Structure 1
């Protein structure tokens, strides 16, 4: 029985580790990454997708180390040695807290996997900006701009 419990615990922790790994990889979607292959070629581009089974990836709007540009490239996971985000991941949770204080309960939803905030089912906020129109979008954009300004000032200190 103890072995079974250990096996269950090992299985659960393995599943947790796997979920955590893919959560981290997913958080790099739409960010610029640098990929080094097993033959030491260096690719830089926007990570658009990945296959969780093979760890193959799709990069867009990128270039090779020699300067050759590409619109889209698929790299087979077996040949990837390293994948590193080159952009800083912006933590939107403090922004979610600010917005939650300003809008009615349930009016602000945060989708952590995609790093997306939805305000009043009308405005979408991502690290790239604010999408929407009207008074709500205008107010959200003001708060977003202030938050991003504070982040960039904090980095320069």
Structure 2
């Protein structure tokens, strides 16, 4: 079995995708911590959260040991990187090889020049400008969908 398909690898990748996202961690004692996932230890599942709320208490940082973690809850829907890659390919009339999706790195590379992540577009020039327009429209459509759901 390839190391990129083992259950442990898949689990760690899922946890890695949550870095920088707000999560809720429920402990075995029933406490609930809501905060930004900053770091974790893949061997012990110890977590570091920042900007943490626990009941009426607020903390700058909280470190939670893996053995006391009962549940990890995610309320944010993950960013649809595959959907954005498809939109870039369709709207810019590019070949599949021109729009490379690197799911593990959570990025898209367009024409080997422009880098796109959920945070924005990196690059300059006419290609980057066209990618930026598609990215902004994609983000606006996501925001509109969220408003409809509320």
TM-score normalised according to structure 1 size: 0.75
Match of 1:81?
70
Residue by residue over 1:41-61, the C-alpha shift from the partner in whole angstroms, topping out at 9 and shown as x without a partner, is 222222122212111112223
Tell me which moved more, 31-40 or 61-70.
Answer: 61-70
Match of 1:3?
none
List alignment gaps of at least 5 residues for structure 2: none
Considering only aligned residues, what root-mean-square deviation do their CA atoms show, in Å?
2.5
Q: Which has the larger radius of gyration?
A: 1
Across the two proteins, how many residue pairs are aligned to each other? 144
Give runs of aligned pairs for residues 114-125 of structure 1, distance below 5 A. Answer: 114-125=105-116
Q: CA deviation at 1:74?
A: 2.3
**Aligned structure 1 segments of 4 or more residues deviating by more than 6 angstroms:** none
Question: When you count helix as a share of all residues, which structure comes out higher?
Answer: 1
Give runs of aligned pairs for residues 21-36 of structure 1, distance below 5 A. Answer: 21-36=11-26
List alignment gaps of at least 5 residues for structure 1: 1-10
Contact 1:26/1:114 (<8 A) preserved: no
Q: Distance in 2 between matches of 1:67 and 1:130?
A: 37
Tell whether 2:130 aligns with 1:145: no
Residue by residue over 1:9-47, the C-alpha shift from the partner in whole angstroms, topping out at 9 and shown as x without a partner, is xx88xx633333223222222211111122222222221
Q: Distance in 1 between matches of 2:63 and 2:125?
A: 39
